[in-house]
Structure 1
Amino acid sequence: MKVIQWNKNEIAIERVVVNDISEILSKLEDNMQIANVACWEQLAFATILALKSAERKTNKAKTVRGEILIRLVGTLQIHEAIRKAGVKEGENFIVAFGENASNHLREFIQKNNLKTVPIEDCSKDKAKSLMELSAIVDVL
């Protein structure tokens, strides 16, 4: 699990295997998002930008979860964001944000019997290009 301190909160990310998409989506909590992306760094950056935009009331999506998705793919179209970065069968990243997010995420994974997969860092160049994609939403 990767854990980042942001303000007074945590952003916790784990890589999990999803077998039943509708089941995991029905159990996902308001302070969590699950996405099929290349790098955990990409999800962390998109989550920070989504939380910042919600604080400033400059978010483009109605929810932080939606804001994370549109930032992952650099679009304002939620349907496109779901198609490109939404959960898929197989390996996905799940993020929890807020107070004690790491404990909360561990409990969620355990409660839902999700299999975790080791997380590897992306190359700096790949992570940078994916983060640029997340930041472009601010100028759209």
Structure 2
Amino acid sequence: MKVLNYGTIKIAVARILLEDTSNIFEILPDNVQILNLECWEHAVFSTILALRSFERSTNKAKTIKGEILLRASGTLQIKDAIEAVGAKKGENFIVAFGENAEKDLHELLSKIPAKEIPFGDCEKEYVKKLFEKAALVDVR
């Protein structure tokens, strides 16, 4: 698990091996999103952009969780975003945000059918392209 600060808000991210997605969304609190992405940096950057869009009232989605999906997918359609980067069986990233992000994520990981797995950094040039894709939502 990695924990970062975005101003006064903490963002915690972990890589998980998700065995079953059927009831996962009923368990997730409002400050947690699961994304099927290759890089933790992409998950965190999409979360920061989503939080910033709500601060500035430039959000496209009704919820921060929905905005994270839009940002991570680079699309404006929530249905397309879920299909592209929504939680799937297998490896995913889980992101929590807020004052108690790390604690919230630890508690949630003990309740869901997932195993935390280690992860490393992605190659910088690849991450840069992902960041550009996430930022495109502001341009559209």
Identity %: 53
- Structure 1 residue ranges, 4+ long, deviating more than 2 angstroms after superposition: 111-114
C-alpha contact (below 8 Å) 1:73/1:85 kept by paired residues: yes
Deviation at 1:69, TM superposition (A): 0.4
Task: Answer yes or no: is the 8 Å Cα contact 2:18–2:113 preserved in 1.
Answer: no
Give deviations 1:7-56, integer Å, cap 9, x for gaps: 11100000111111122111111000001011000010000000000111
Calculate the aligned-residue CA RMSD, in Å. Answer: 0.9
Counterpart of 1:6 in structure 2 is: 6
Q: Distance in 2 between matches of 1:135 and 1:90?
A: 26
SS state of the match for residue 37, structure 1? Answer: coil
Query: Normalised by the size of structure 2, how large is the TM-score?
Result: 0.97
* Residues 1:125 and 2:115 are matched in the alignment: no
Q: Distance in 2 between matches of 1:139 and 1:70?
A: 13
**Structure 1 letter corresponding to 2:68:** I
Provide the residue aligned with 1:96 in structure 2. 96
Runs of 5+ consecutive residues of structure 1 not aligned to the other structure: none
CA distance in 2, matches of 1:92, 1:4: 18
- How far the C-alpha of 1:113 sits from its partner, in A, is 5.1
Bigger helix fraction: 1
Q: When the two structures are superposed, what TM-score results if normalisation uses the length of structure 1?
A: 0.97
